[in-house]
Copies of this chain bind each other. A is one copy, B any other.
Amino acid sequence: MLKEETILNNYLRENGLKQSRTREQVMRCFLETERHLTAEELYRKVSRRFPSIGMATVYRTLGILCRAGLAEELRLQDGVARYEHKYRHRHHDHLVCSSCRKFVEVADAELERVLAELAESRGITPEYHSVVVYGTCRECSGKINE
């Protein structure tokens, strides 16, 4: 049994919710994917294997996964929520190529320190943050000069 299932089940129990096969199936599909997923993308993936599961359930399950600390919501400029694994993936931030939309994940101790100090210096106890740096990746800046 996956460690993530234990975490989910603990969360459910602690919150007076019930375990269900459907939720487990959605979670498994989610965990199998290494990339960032929109709800729509996850729904398509889930549908292929479990055609009876509906979109609303995917949304509801993603909400639970976030609250249980297994998923994290990421918002870029397009207003569409993306979800990525949180458990067993240490916290990281994102660099996005503004041209090809490729992602790079970065975990940087100095950045974390600077952000924490910044919040504390303003009387805010930091909880989490969202950092996205947009720029042009090497391949795309190559293309521009061709």
Interface residues of A (CB under 8 A from B): 73, 75-77, 79-81, 95, 97-98, 104, 106, 108, 110-111, 114-115, 118-119, 122-138, 141
Contact = CB atoms under 8 A, between A and B. Distances in A.
By secondary structure, the A interface counts as: strand
B106 A127 contact: no
A126 B131 CA distance: 13
B114 A124 contact: no
B118 A129 contact: no
A52 to B, nearest CB: 28
A78 to B, nearest CB: 9
Given A73-B77, A111-B115, A114-B114, A122 B106 contact: yes
